[in-house]
Amino acid sequence: MTYYHISFENPLTFYLQVQLMVEVPAEATAPLALQLPAWRPGRYELQNFAQKIQRVEVSDAETDEPLPYRKTTKDRWEVPGAAGRSVRVRYNFYAHQMDAGGSWLDATQLYLNPVQALMYAEGQQDAPCQLTLDLPADWRLACGLPQNLPNTLQANNFDQLADAPLIASPTIQHQQYEAGGVPFHVWAQGEEALLNWPKLLADFKAFSEEQLNLFGGFPVADYHFLNQFLPYKHYHGVEHHNSTVITLGPAELLMHEALYKELLGVSCHELFHTWNIKAIRPAEMQPYDYARENYFRTCYIAEGITTYYGEYLLARSHVRTPAQYFEELNTVLRKHYDDAGGQNLSLADASMD
């Protein structure tokens, strides 16, 4: 098992202290290789998260003896002489990117996309992982991973851990509903958000049931909508294994028709991704290679079909009125015909780029 621990001393610096411990077999002949992902599922382009890393230290976990290491690429480190040791790696991670694929630390919350911040030992990606967070006593943790102990998350492998964003905060709101026998959790971070919970839960339940009816089931045991409702204008959503992160604002207008329409649209879209791109994954993405580009020519299928069904299922579940649905179709078609991109690049080539 690979053990991770995350803490912070002064949230105003935006730096997290990350620690990982990994056992290296005594028979190992090659150096221990540590890789930080260069990209994240949900945005299939290099993002070079290593720019957020500082002060890497490596030691023997039992003796605290410093171990020499060398950096071999922008986001890969090698530790020679690690065979037979329990190796501890420490470093700082800069968490100051507030969007649906980012990470953020301040006095009110810790928001983390683990894929940005956690190294893995090459060859041990399939080993179980445990992530422990050192949090204030009154903070609540929201994440799609199981918590067998307080503030401790369990994952079957690195892929599952990397694909499990979390929010920890003393002010996060939580409500729950059930669709098709599956529990759905709605988390809301943002004190400015004045939500009409009965209306929101009824609408979410309606489009969730419509999606489950379409597919005849659900590929995961539960689902979490992790919402960051921001005090300024913003719109972003990213799909994950059994969750989504949505960043949307301004929070004070969430229940106004225009912004509430956006919330329903992005939420239904991201839920559909649970099947289309997560459970039904392009062959080129099996397995993920976090160290380099993962090219695939069918991104337009992953996003295009999801975009179509996201709006269609809102209408079919009566969350959208027919007039609202056709207005949205008209907006999409107008964008398509006003855009000359199709005359210069095919959808398949655009997927590659």
Does 204 lie in the same domain as 111?
A: no
Domain, as residue range, for 36:
2-169
Does 350 lie in the same domain as 256?
A: yes
How far is Cα 348 from Cα 352, in angstroms, rounded to an integer?
A: 7
pLDDT value of position 145:
98
How far is Cα 37 from Cα 57, in angstroms, rounded to an integer?
A: 18
Does 185 lie in the same domain as 159?
A: no
In contact, 168 and 133? CB cutoff 8 Å:
yes
pLDDT value of position 41:
84
Residue where a domain terminates, one of 111, 141, 169: 169
Write out the chain's pLDDT in tens, 353 residues.
999 999 999 999 999 999 999 999 999 999 999 999 999 988 878 889 999 999 999 999 999 999 999 999 999 999 999 999 999 999 999 999 999 999 999 999 999 999 999 999 999 999 999 999 999 999 999 999 999 899 999 999 999 999 999 999 999 999 999 999 999 999 999 987 889 999 999 999 999 999 999 999 999 999 999 999 999 999 999 999 999 999 999 999 999 999 999 999 999 999 999 999 999 988 888 888 898 888 888 888 889 999 999 999 999 999 999 999 999 999 989 988 898 877 888 877 877 76
- Please give the order of strands across the beta sheet that includes 120-121: 70-73, 76-79, 32-35, 120-121
Residue by residue, what is the 3-state secondary structure of 81-118? CCCCCEEEEEEEEECECCCCCCCEEECCEEEECHHHHC
pLDDT value of position 345:
83
pLDDT value of position 320:
95
Residue where a domain terminates, one of 169, 195, 226: 169
Residues 324-350 have pLDDT tens digits of 999 999 998 998 889 887 788 887 787
Does 222 lie in the same domain as 152?
A: no
- Total-model pTM: 0.96
Does 59 lie in the same domain as 138?
A: yes
Residue where a domain terminates, one of 169, 200, 223: 169
> CA 306 from chain center: how many Å?
18
Does 265 lie in the same domain as 163?
A: no
Alpha-carbon distance values, 95 to 7, 92, 119, 200 (Å): 12, 9, 15, 30
Does 176 lie in the same domain as 278?
A: yes
Residues 62-75 have pLDDT tens digits of 999 999 999 999 99
CB atoms within 10 A of CB 59: 17
Does 161 lie in the same domain as 282?
A: no
In contact, 268 and 313? CB cutoff 8 Å:
yes
Does 108 lie in the same domain as 16?
A: yes
How far is Cα 248 from Cα 208, in angstroms, rounded to an integer?
A: 20
Domain CATH code at residue 249: 1.10.390.10
pLDDT value of position 296:
82
Maximum Cα–Cα distance across the chain: 69
Domain CATH code at residue 21: 2.60.40.3650
Does 141 lie in the same domain as 277?
A: no
- Element housing 158 (H / E): helix 158-162
- What one-letter code names the amino acid at 129? C
Does 147 lie in the same domain as 43?
A: yes
What's the total number of domains in the chain? Answer: 2
In contact, 135 and 143? CB cutoff 8 Å:
no
Does 160 lie in the same domain as 57?
A: yes
